[in-house]
């Protein structure tokens, strides 16, 4: 199976971008609009890792509220 950087739900792209900037701000990383290839791998990992952590927390909370 080939992976790509394309969103499965196209409408979610803007929300994910906004979420990325919010998380970057929380962890103290400054992102600029557009290309951010100059940030360190460590900072990129902190942003992505915290995004995943928050998404998992949100999903777990939705499961708790469901039952």
Residue 15's contacts (CB-CB under 8 Å, 6 or more residues apart) are: none
pLDDT for 51 equals 97
On whether residue 3 sits in a domain, the answer given is: no
pLDDT for 46 equals 97
Q: Is the pLDDT of residue 45 over 90?
A: yes
Structural domain boundaries, residue 59: 12-31+38-66
On whether residue 1 sits in a domain, the answer given is: no
| Overall number of domains in the chain | 1
Closest C-alpha to 16, from 41, 8, 29? 8
d(CA 62, CA 67): 9
Specify the residue for token string 């939705």.
62
Q: At what angle do helices 41-66 and 12-26 cross, to 10 degrees?
A: 110
On whether residue 7 sits in a domain, the answer given is: no
Region 32-55: mean pLDDT is: 96
pTM of the model: 0.82
Q: Is the pLDDT of residue 1 over 60?
A: no
pLDDT for 52 equals 97
Q: Indicate the pLDDT class of residue 8, thresholds 50, 70 and 90.
A: confident
On whether residue 23 sits in a domain, the answer given is: yes
d(CA 59, CA 28): 25
On whether residue 6 sits in a domain, the answer given is: no
């Amino acid at each position: 199976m080939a992976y790509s950087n394309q969103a499965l739900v196209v409408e979610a792209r803007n929300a994910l971008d906004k979420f990325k900037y919010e998380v970057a701000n929380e962890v103290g990383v400054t992102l600029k609009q557009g290309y951010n290839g100059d940030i360190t791998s460590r900072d990129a990992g902190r942003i992505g890792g915290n995004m995943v952590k928050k998404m998992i927390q949100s999903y777990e909370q939705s499961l708790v509220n469901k039952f």
